[in-house]
Each structure stands twice: as structure tokens, then as C-alpha cells.
Structure 1
Amino acid sequence: MSDKNEKGTTSSDPTDVTELAGAESITHTTWTKIDLAVLFLGLFMCNLASSLEEQMTYTAAPDVLSAYNALWGYVYLSAIPSVIVAALKPAFSKFSDKYGRTSTVTVSAVFTTAAYILLWTAPDYWTFFAGQMLQSIGTTAFFVVSSILIADIIPLIYRGSTQAYLMIPNLFLSFLAPYLASVLLKVNFRWIFGIGGIFWLTFNYITIFVLARASARWYSVHNVNSPEGSKRGLLRSLLGPSSGTPSSFRTTFKELDGIGLLLVTFGTVLILVAFNLNGSYEGGWGSPPVVGMIVTGGLMLISFLIWEARFAAFPVVPMRLLRNPTVFGALIITGAVYMAANTAVYWFNPFVRVTKLVDVAVAGYLQYGYFGGFSLGAIFAGWLMQWTGRYRIICWTGAAGVVLALGLLINMKGQGTSEWELGLVQALAGLSAGATINAASIGLQASLEHRDIAIGVTLKDFFVYFGGTLGVAVGGALWNRILPQTLLARLPDGDRSFLDVTRVVSDITYIATLSPAQLGLVQAAYVETQRYASIAGLVIMVVGCVPALFMKHVDLKAAKQTAAEIVDSK
């Protein structure tokens, strides 16, 4: 086994068998430079295909669902996939620890292949919906492994840049995807999934192939199973590691921490479904189904933490991770960034359209300042970490930038604020958020031994999705409650005949028909509601920054962790 260095990380040893979170995970790989290039091309192209299809689907969803006479199903189509992504991340991380990275990517290919068959042929809404769900499961498995592979292969000092490079498609897809979706809708809406599916499946299977080759090459280079080492190594890589003796169901269930996975998965599903779909129930947050899901989900997550701390033989989340101040700080700050941003700026589009009287395209481009800035911020942070070997100051500076942007957003005056000011604040928030997330992710990895990297990276992604979903719920609750109350409070002499408040809240196109006096009242109510949302986001962000202040310094240039074994031969 490899020795620990002074940073608590493990040195590179290609012959080391690494036990991740206590399970029997064998991560032997030997790479050629060509195979590494093909692997990262595959990861990049799958990220491109997924982002392109996601944004085209977002643009074309009303038209696609209308083709099935099922526009009512939009709320489920937009909410359930994000719930699946968040809930299944820990499960796939544990699966990859037990059965290997290649096996998990193979599972991804199986689900996404079935998904695209359904999406390409779906005769009705529920078949289409099933395809979307299978696709969410498959892409979740792939991207869990994608993050882990970067940690498995790339030296720590270069990981921030590598993570950021995979975000490059997001810089231009926000402009390209709506146009491409409108063109494909005129031909056949199934091509929206056809183009993405062709790219995704091609590079998904290429990724499986190069992973299997790297594993088989290790067995060959190290003379394991000779003279049939290469062939048997390929088979092992596809089927997952084995101790030589078939495991019983009870043993496998124990090593996968089945009870822990069930508790965290269903607890997460219940809470996120309640937060996403509360508006579908009469009574909203106070309805019995919503209250029941939140209480039951909360109890399951509490039970999960107790189980992991006291009873799990091979825990999904070793408690030593949460006792590590750097890991804890990184998890909280990443969750807080997404929760604060979604609370404060998720509803920025309607705010701009109403207060600035711009069309949907201009509002979209102003909001793009955040998303484009996020990718650029992550890229710059990666370069800075590679150059300086430091992550804390970048994380703290980024977090301060998010706080500043949210503070500036509080003073946005609608007609009294130029579009340039709105766009620059969005860009500042995005740049700062991207830098914070990337730096916190690298700091988290730098503080862990390699055996904990997989679950550490997955936990960060889990907090991102969980925090983001909570942010959307908090922002939605604020807008749905404060906007109507503010409109009613501003009615002249309380005269409800002056303005149809219900229609203002539910139909943004109705606002364009209002008289100047009515419009002024509505715009003032929008500005006030956005101010409350910005204050809520600012409070969330400030609270989330506190644990990050206790993260420990690690010299990224000196820290060592397992990296890929690279050979020149084929």
C-alpha cells in the first residue's frame, strides 16, 4: 500500500489496490497518451451533447408536450429529473466504488440507450416521460464517474482547469440551442433528441472502450493472468472487480450499504418532490401530502446520518469526511452558492421583462450573464490554482464576489437601472460563483485520501443539486407570497377593481396590456419582491460562508494523490 505524505493524501502507486469507502474497488489502469486524449474527448463530447439537448428541450418543451396534448405535464418533466439526479448520485458513487468505473459507465450506456429508443419512438406523453426518466438515470451515472475519473487520473494541481474545460460548451450553447431547437421543430421535434442521442451514445461507448483498454493494459503490463492477461483484464473491467468467490446477496447488500442508500435516496426524493411540486397540491405548503413528504423525508435523512455514524459497516458517507473542516466547509459553501443564486436570480427573467419592458430574448441574454460568467469564473479559478497552488484565497474571493453581487442586486430599481448594470451584476455573480465552486471542489479533494475522493466529489455534487432545488423552492415561495401581497397593498384605496391581481401573477403577457398607472404599480411591486428575494439570497450566502472560513490550507503543488500510470507503448 502507498504511504501517506504530510498532507494526509496518498502517493501515486500503480500497483496499489485502493479500497474506497471500504468496498472492494480495484482502480488499476495504465494509459497511453492517445487513450487519455480519447477519454477526455469522450467526456467533453458527452458533456456537450447533454448540455445541448438539455437546453434545446427547455426551449422546445411546450411544443413537444403540445404534440402529445400534454402541456399539463411540463411541471413533472421539469421537476422529476432534477430529483433523480440528486437522489441517485450517492448510489452510483457507491456502485462505482464496488464494481469499478467502467462498469458504471456501462450501466449508463444501458439506461441511455433504452432512453433514446423511447424518446425517438414515443407515441404518447407517458412513454416520452419514461424515456426522460431513464435518460436522467443514465446521465447521472455517467457524470458521477466523469467527476471521479478526473480525480483518479489528473494530478491535483491540474484538476481545477480540467473540470473547467468541460464547461466550455456552456459558453455558447445558451445562444445556439434556442435557434437550433426552433429549426428542428420545423422538421420533426424528435430530431432534438436524435442529434443529442447520436453524439451521446457514440462517445458513451467510446468511453467504455478506452476505460476497458486501460484496465486490460494494466493486467498485461503487470503480468497478471498471463498469457491471457489482456483479454481477461478487458473482461474484468467490463464486469467489475471480483475477489474470485461470488458474493452472496447479503454480502453485496452490506458492502454497498444498502440500508444507507435506501434511506438517503428515498429521503432525498421525498423532500425534493415536496419542494418542487408543492404548487400542484391544494393548500400548497400546508397540504397534508407536502407536509407528510417533508417530515418523512427529513426523518429518513436523520436516520441515514445515525445509521452511517453508528451501524454501517461500509458507509456511503464516512463520518470522518464531515468532521474534516475543509470538506464540511466546501460542502456548505457550494450548497449555499446554488441556494442563494437560485433564491435571488432564478426569477430574474420575469423581473427584467416586467420592469424593463424588454422581450424574452433580451431578458434571456441578460440572465445569460450569470451562466456564461459561471463557466468563465470556473476556468479562471482553475488557471489561478494551477499557477499559485492555492485554493482558499480563490474560494474566499469568489464567495465575497457573490455576496457583493447579491448586495448590488438589492438596489436594482427596474426602470432606474440600465440594462448594462443588470448584465454586469449578473456577470459578477456568475464569475464569482464559478470561481467559488471550482476552488471549493479542489480544496475538498486536496484534503482527502484517494480512497475517499469518489464519495467526496459526489457529496459536493449532491449538495449543489440539493441546495439549488431548495433555492428554487425558497425563491418561488417568496415570489408567490410576496408579489400578490405587495400588489394588494399598493392598490389605490384597496380598490381591487383597479387591477386583476390574480391575472398579473399568473400571466406575464397580460402586463403589456395595462395602463401606465397600472403598469407603474406592478413594476414597483416587482422591484420590492425582487429586493426581498435578493436579501434572502444574501443571508443564505453569508451564513454559508462561515464554515468556509475554517477550511485548511493545502499547497496544491506539493500535495500528492494517486494519478494515472502513463506508458508510451500501445
Structure 2
Amino acid sequence: MVWQEMLPPRFRRGVPDIESDDNSAVTEVPVDQEKSFGVRRMEAIAASFTIYDKVALFVAIFLVAYSRNLDGNGRKSFQATAIAEWDSAANTAMLGVVRSCVAAASLPVYAKVSDWFGRSSIFLAIVTFYVIGTIVQATAHNFHTYTGGYILYILGFAGEHVLFQILIGDSTSLRSRLIFAYVPTLPQLINTWVSGTIASRILEVSTWRWGFAMWTIIMPCVALPLFFALYGAEYRSKKKGLLKDIPSTRTIVSTPAYWLDFFWKADIVGLFLLAASWALVLIPLTLGGGTSSKWKTAPVLSPLFVGLCVTFPSFIIWEAKFSRFPLLPWTLLKNRHILASFGIALFSTVSQSVQSTYLYYTLIVSFGKSVEAATRTANVESFCEVIVGVSVGFAVRRFRVLKPFIIFGACLYVVAYGLLFKYRGGHTSADFAGLVGGEVVLGFAGGFSLTPVQVGLQASVGHEKMAVITALFLTATVAGAIWTNTLPARLAANLEAIGTANATTYAKQVYGNPLKFVQANPVGTETRTAVEMAYRSVQRSLCTAGICLSAMLVVFSLMLNWVELDDRQNKEDKEEIAVNDEKMAEADGAGGAPPVLAAKNEKVQSK
């Protein structure tokens, strides 16, 4: 029965560990599909890896990840200062939506391109996007120009994240993967405590522009070791003759037939329709509120109508009827374990962003904290997540199961949002300690659940195209919609209650530049107290939404199958061998196996 798959094997009665129906935790992958050139190239490179090659690879990944993480933490302060300078703080939620849309649309593209052109080539493109985007941000003089650079930067930032996970999946076993999956996030253990100080000092002695610009020099330099590690391993594989049957990147780029094949296999049309749907739906939802009601205006309703009634239905029809290689394989969407994993990824991300999108401003306004303290506090969650996640990784390597850890993490989410609901503002040490405690528990919850769910997906279906389905397509919109539609009115109401002249106009100014307001209104003044109460009221709504969303995580975690891990790189290997054995037996009965199938079966068995 299906429910028995959610139990440990010892409690099952007459249920095999692996089933072939749609409810199985394992999705059968056809063995007669030719692998992409980039995948074959990476397999050849990984086959020639020595222990020293792997150490060099992970050290290089750590160096790039450290710089990327330190830059990302500091950008929170630099970005807040920049957009406050332009009186555009209310558009912070828009940047979150842009981040989610761009990342979600680019992740599957990077996965497809790296499978086709190779990991080394895509890393070069990623660093280029990162540097160019940062240059545009550093030289921007208005919010619109900054957003353009932000898009390019996110293309590079998201690309690095997915490439790290691909490289880790290429070179680790399922049993150890959870430990190594945290290598790109280990820098958070250091940067959580130093990034706030660095950002504060840069803003004191220079400007936010230099805070961005210095990374256009640092990032290319720290990327060189990873380039050398990838190209060096590829060169040695070529010398050994392991790449003789695989066309080079130059050959692929210069051959039109390969580009046509890439067009279909990457599902370019599907990617375009999906990205358009996200943009047309999510951005109007965020911009529809604000300091004046815009929900009945054409600039909001028209994109919503086109996104919901034209582009998204077109995407569904294309994927179901016309796409040769669907972006969202329908067989995966029938699998309960896969759906539950997606539910955890989606709801945990949405619930986290509900409280984190404006956490920095809340700390400064409602708690009266400095830039340095606010930056450090905003990073506490990720710090705890890394510590706990690595520890869970070693425990998973020992016990080889995931589900108990994920269930415990889901329960911790509910506890965390309960604390954040209670402690959402105040200037006593107890108030601040309560918020920090909530962030710590939230980090524990993420460490027990998020990355283990990702490893569980890989253990269930192998290296499938998970990026597009686990995209954060609704992440910042929930927070943006609640915040944008409620804060201006509550600010105006509170300011009117204390007799502030031109309360509506003043509320708009506070809403657009809270940092300037804090500097002009010390803690304890009547106006500051009124604004703080408005912020706390909105945080109440955000945390209530977080509690409701986190409750669903417990349900999804109970729906997961009991996935056991082993020392293979891919769980697919066992199923592929079984399928090949069955086809070989049929072929033997008919007079012999086809040469191609026989060769593939021999290759799989040798693994």
C-alpha cells in the first residue's frame, strides 16, 4: 500500500523497497536516451579524479563561496542605504520578486547549458554576469538603473549556487552528499559576525558605491582557482583519452545542428513562457498596493490578466502537447514523495521570506538597532542553519535516513514563528533576545529540513531537473503584498492619532525612507513610537502568515517516503541496471541483445 512507503522498511509488510508505479519514491529513467555532451564530459573527468583533485575542487568552491557570501551579506546594508537615498525603500519587495523571477527562470537554463556545454564554460558566463551586474549597481544613480544591474548580478549569483550543487552531485555519494552540500554555505559561519562590521566601516570611510565596486576586482581573482581546478581536471582526462568521443565546446558552438538540438532539449519556449508568467503575475501583485490603491488601474490589471489567462495557460499547453523535452515532467508530478518535497521547498521559502524581507528595517525602526547590529542579526538564521545542517549531515551519514530529521525540522518552524509573533518590537533586552531566539530556532529548522529534502529528491530520482520546480516563484510576493497594502495606511492612522500635521504625506516619507526617519526621530519620541507601533502591527500579520505556512510543512514532511541512502553517486544506478537486465533477458529470448543496449548495460554494470 502507498502509506506503507512512508514507514521504515522494518515496519512494512509485503511492500518491496522499490516499486515501479507512480507513487514510488523512485522514478524510472529511460536508459535509451543519449546523455548530453556536458554530462558525458563530467563523468569522464570525475572518473579520473584523485583524492587531491577532489580536495582542490572543494577548496576552490569554498573560496568562491566565501567571497560570494561576504559580498551578499554586505550588500544588504549597501542596498538599503542606496535605495533609501533615492526614497525607494518601499520597492524592496519588488527587488525580492525580481530576484525570485530571475533566479527561478535562470536555474533550469544553467542546468541545461551546463549539461550541454560543460561546467567550465558555464562558470565563465556566470562570473561575467556577476561582475557586469555589480558594475552597473555601483554606478547607478536611480532605482531603475540599479534594478537593471541587480538582474545581471542575480543571474551570476543564482548560477554560482546551482553550479556548486551540480559539481557536488558529480563528485560525492548520496550518503555523504548532505555534508558536502554545505561547503558553499560554510563561509556563513565567519561572515555572519564580520560582514556587519565590514559594511559599517565601509559606509563610515567611503560610500555604498565602493561597497559594490570592490567585488568587481575581488570576484574574478578568487574565481581563478576553480577555473584551474575544472580545466586542469579536463586537460588530464583529455590526455588519458577519456574525452576522445566527446565533441569539444568549440565544436558544439560552431555546429548549427547542435544549437537546434539544444533549443529543443533546453525547452527555450517553455522557459520563456514560464518566466513571462512569473513576471506578469508577481510584480503587479507587489506594486498594486502602496501608498495609494492601484488595484483597479490598467497597469496592474492588464499584466495580471495576460499572465493568468494567456502566458501561463500557454505554458501548460506547450509543455503538455508540443514540448519534446518538457520542463516539468508530468511523471514526476504524479509522485507523492516529489510533490511533498516541492511543498516543503515552497512553503518553507515563502514562510522564511515573510519575516526576512523587511527584517533589516524592522530591527532598525522597531528595535532601535545600529546598522552593524541589524546586519548581524539578519544573518543569525543562516549561521545557525549551517551549523545544524553540517551536524545533521554527519548524523545522516551514520544512520542513512532523512525523514525523522525533516519532520523534526518542520515542527521547529512552527515554534520559531510563534516566538517571532510574540517578539516583534521593543527596546528592552528581553524583546531583542526573543527575536534572536526566534531567528535561532528558525535556523535550526532550516538545517534539519531544507537541504535534507534536496538530498532526498536526488536520492529518489537522481540528477533530475529540480531547479525549475523548486524555484522561489512566490517567495517575496507574499511579504510584499501584505507589507505594501497595510503599512502605509497604518502609518498614516498612527500619525493622525497623535495629531501629526499632513500625516498622510509624512507617512509616505517614512514609508519611502525609514533610515532617514530613524536619524531624525530618536527612540522615545511620540512620532517614533507611533511609527514603531505601525511596524509591529505589520510584523504581526507577517508572522501570522508564517505560522499558517509552517503548519503545512509538518503535513508535507509526514507525506515523504522513507528514503535510505548508500554509497552510490546516484540512486538511479540500481533502477537502470534492473531495467537493462529485464530488456537483456527479453532480447536474449528473441535471439540476442541489440549492440547499443548491450554496451550501455555493460557500462552500467561496471559502475
Q: Do the structures match in fold with TM over 0.5?
A: yes
Q: Distance in 2 between matches of 1:143 and 1:518?
A: 43
The 5 A counterparts of 1:65-464 are 75=91, 78-79=95-96, 80-115=98-133, 122=139, 130-185=148-203, 186-187=205-206, 191-222=210-241, 225=244, 236=247, 238-239=249-250, 246-247=256-257, 250-278=260-288, 283-299=293-309, 300-353=311-364, 355-412=366-423, 414-415=425-426, 417-450=430-463, 452=464, 455-457=465-467, 459-460=469-470, 462=471
Q: Distance in 2 between matches of 1:458 and 1:309?
A: 16
Q: Distance in 2 between matches of 1:521 and 1:220?
A: 71
How many Å apart are 1:375 and its aligned residue?
2.6
How many Å apart are 1:87 and its aligned residue?
2.4
Larger deviation, residues 408-417 vs 378-387:
408-417
Other-structure match for 2:476: 469
Matched, 1:538 2:547: yes
Other-structure match for 2:558: 549
Q: Distance in 2 between matches of 1:189 and 1:130?
A: 17
How many Å apart are 1:273 and its aligned residue?
2.8
Q: Give the secondary structure class of the aligned counterpart of 2:257.
A: coil
Q: Distance in 2 between matches of 1:392 and 1:241?
A: 42
Q: Are the counterparts in 2 of residues 23 and 98 from structure 1 also a CA contact under 8 Å?
A: yes
How many Å apart are 1:247 and its aligned residue?
0.7
How many Å apart are 1:49 and its aligned residue?
1.6
Q: Are the counterparts in 2 of residues 356 and 414 from structure 1 also a CA contact under 8 Å?
A: yes
Q: CA distance change for structure 1 residues 219 and 309 in 2, over 3 Å: closer, same or farther?
A: farther
Unaligned runs of 5+ in 1: 565-570
How many Å apart are 1:561 and its aligned residue?
0.9
How many Å apart are 1:60 and its aligned residue?
2.4
Matched, 1:61 2:79: yes
Q: Distance in 2 between matches of 1:404 and 1:246?
A: 56
Q: Give the secondary structure class of the aligned counterpart of 2:570.
A: coil
Q: Distance in 2 between matches of 1:298 and 1:339?
A: 20
Q: Distance in 1 between matches of 2:225 and 2:33?
A: 25
Instruction: Give per-residue Cα distances to partners, 1:411-465, cap 9 Å, x unaligned.
Output: 3375585332221122111221232211111111111133x1xx125533x1xx3
How many Å apart are 1:501 and its aligned residue?
6.6
Q: Are the counterparts in 2 of residues 340 and 541 from structure 1 also a CA contact under 8 Å?
A: yes
The 5 A counterparts of 1:473-552 are 473-477=480-484, 479-480=486-487, 483-484=490-491, 487=494, 491=497, 500=503, 503=506, 506=511, 507=514, 508-509=517-518, 512=521, 526-552=535-561
**Alignment RMSD:** 4.1
Q: Distance in 2 between matches of 1:211 and 1:25?
A: 14
Q: Distance in 1 between matches of 2:160 and 2:468?
A: 12
How many Å apart are 1:313 and its aligned residue?
0.7
Q: Are the counterparts in 2 of residues 344 and 536 from structure 1 also a CA contact under 8 Å?
A: no
Q: CA distance change for structure 1 residues 183 and 372 in 2, over 3 Å: closer, same or farther?
A: same
Q: Distance in 2 between matches of 1:123 and 1:353?
A: 25
Q: Distance in 1 between matches of 2:206 and 2:499?
A: 47
TM-score normalized by the length of structure 1: 0.79
How many Å apart are 1:289 and its aligned residue?
1.9
Q: Distance in 2 between matches of 1:38 and 1:143?
A: 18
Q: Distance in 2 between matches of 1:270 and 1:166?
A: 33
Q: Give the secondary structure class of the aligned counterpart of 1:554.
A: coil
How many Å apart are 1:293 and its aligned residue?
2.5
Q: Distance in 1 between matches of 2:122 and 2:425?
A: 49
Q: Distance in 2 between matches of 1:277 and 1:117?
A: 27
Q: CA distance change for structure 1 residues 82 and 421 in 2, over 3 Å: closer, same or farther?
A: same
Q: Are the counterparts in 1 of residues 407 and 449 from structure 2 also a CA contact under 8 Å?
A: yes
How many Å apart are 1:321 and its aligned residue?
2.1
How many Å apart are 1:118 and its aligned residue?
5.5
Matched, 1:31 2:49: yes
Q: Are the counterparts in 1 of residues 344 and 556 from structure 2 also a CA contact under 8 Å?
A: yes
How many Å apart are 1:496 and its aligned residue?
5.4
Q: Distance in 1 between matches of 2:568 and 2:261?
A: 36
How many Å apart are 1:333 and its aligned residue?
0.8
Instruction: Give per-residue Cα distances to partners, 1:120-163, cap 9 Å, x unaligned.
Output: 7x486677665443333233333222211211221111111112
How many Å apart are 1:402 and its aligned residue?
0.5
Q: Share of identical aligned residues, percent? A: 21
Instruction: Give per-residue Cα distances to partners, 1:478-524, cap 9 Å, x unaligned.
Output: 64267348748x94xxx856994764563452894687777666655
Unaligned runs of 5+ in 2: 1-16, 20-24, 574-607
Q: Distance in 1 between matches of 2:425 and 2:136?
A: 45
Q: Distance in 2 between matches of 1:364 and 1:441?
A: 28
Q: How many residues align?
A: 534
Q: CA distance change for structure 1 residues 115 and 238 in 2, over 3 Å: closer, same or farther?
A: farther
Q: Are the counterparts in 1 of residues 273 and 312 from structure 2 also a CA contact under 8 Å?
A: yes
Q: Distance in 2 between matches of 1:237 and 1:371?
A: 40
Alignment-mate amino acid for residue 532 of structure 1: S
Q: CA distance change for structure 1 residues 240 and 249 in 2, over 3 Å: closer, same or farther?
A: closer
How many Å apart are 1:297 and its aligned residue?
2.7
Q: Give the secondary structure class of the aligned counterpart of 1:31.
A: coil
Q: Distance in 1 between matches of 2:101 and 2:504?
A: 32
How many Å apart are 1:398 and its aligned residue?
0.6
Larger deviation, residues 145-154 vs 301-310:
301-310
How many Å apart are 1:248 and its aligned residue?
6.5
How many Å apart are 1:255 and its aligned residue?
2.4
Alignment-mate amino acid for residue 303 of structure 2: M
Q: CA distance change for structure 1 residues 353 and 543 in 2, over 3 Å: closer, same or farther?
A: same
Q: Are the counterparts in 1 of residues 290 and 488 from structure 2 also a CA contact under 8 Å?
A: no
Larger deviation, residues 513-522 vs 250-259:
513-522
Alignment-mate amino acid for residue 178 of structure 2: G
Q: Distance in 1 between matches of 2:194 and 2:386?
A: 16
Alignment-mate amino acid for residue 221 of structure 2: T
Q: Give the secondary structure class of the aligned counterpart of 2:182.
A: helix
Q: Give the secondary structure class of the aligned counterpart of 1:265.
A: helix
Q: Distance in 1 between matches of 2:264 and 2:488?
A: 46
Alignment-mate amino acid for residue 334 of structure 1: A
Q: Are the counterparts in 2 of residues 23 and 256 from structure 1 also a CA contact under 8 Å?
A: no
Q: CA distance change for structure 1 residues 357 and 111 in 2, over 3 Å: closer, same or farther?
A: closer
Q: Distance in 2 between matches of 1:377 and 1:339?
A: 21
